[in-house]
Amino acid sequence: MFERFTKDARATVTGAVEHAGRTGAATVTGEHLLLALLDQEGGRAAFALTALGLVDRRESVEAALAEARRRGGMSRADADALADIGIDLTAVVSRIEEAHGEGALRGDGGRKCRAGRPSFSREAKKVLEKSLRVALGRGDRSIGGEHLLLALTATPGPVADALADHAATYASVERALYGNGGADGQERKAG
């Protein structure tokens, strides 16, 4: 699949590996893919992220991602499901951090990458696979950064939640990328 990636998509994946490596993470996550997209200065994804104001609000996006890591990577849907059965996720996180220290629920379990490059998490693999489906659904032969960005918005979890909190949904990203020509995105949205 990597052979289908454009130069900017390859740079995003490489950047994600670098982000993971700098933090010593055991795996590359969707968060690392988003941070690498935010680092890009050219290409359609960079244009969309700038148009949607995410580049200017990077600190806020990073804070939302850090809060999701603090909750063990649980999405808003996960927290809502727990609340439906009477479990207050905020209270659980607080109690665990009291007993085990701040950040005890972070998604990598405290593991650090030992040697070589970090592997890709299940979530990151889903995003990469979904980016292929998004590209094919649009009739594109190559996978670009824009397809990775759309896939991040369409993959349920903390990254999609953080993007949505910053008004970057599948539909809004598609409009920023393709204008009204992308308005049929709900029909094309890769599932």
User: How far is it, in rounded angstroms, from Cα 9 to Cα 40?
Assistant: 10
pLDDT at residue 137, rounded to an integer: 95
Domain total in the chain: 1
Helix axes 158-165, 30-39, angle to 10 degrees: 40
Q: Quick check: is 111 in a domain?
A: no
CB 54 within 8 A of CB 146: no
Give the dihedral of Cα atoms 89, 22, 5, 62; nearest 10 deg: 40
All residues at 6 or more sequence positions from 81 whose CB lies less than 8 Å from its CB, including other chains: none
pLDDT at residue 25, rounded to an integer: 85
Q: Quick check: is 128 in a domain?
A: yes
Q: What is the DSSP string of the chain?
A: -GGGB-HHHHHHHHHHHHHHHHHTBSEE-HHHHHHHHHH--SSHHHHHHHHTTTTTTHHHHHHHHHHHHHTTT--HHHHHHHHHTT--HHHHHHHHHHHH-TTTT-TTTT-B--SSPPEEPHHHHHHHHHHHHHHHHTT-SSB-HHHHHHHHHHSTTHHHHHHHHTT--HHHHHHHHHGGGGTTHHHH---
Q: Quick check: is 62 in a domain?
A: yes
Q: Quick check: is 51 in a domain?
A: yes
pLDDT at residue 113, rounded to an integer: 46
Q: Quick check: is 149 in a domain?
A: yes
Q: Quick check: is 45 in a domain?
A: yes
Q: Quick check: is 100 in a domain?
A: no
Q: Quick check: is 110 in a domain?
A: no
| CATH code assigned at 33 | 1.10.1780.10
pLDDT at residue 118, rounded to an integer: 84
pLDDT at residue 117, rounded to an integer: 73
Q: What is the domain range of residue 134?
A: 2-69+119-188
10-residue mean pLDDT profile of the chain (191 residues): values are 88 95 89 96 94 95 87 71 75 68 54 65 95 96 97 95 95 93 48 55
> Angle 51-139-134 (CA atoms, 0-180°, nearest 5)?
60
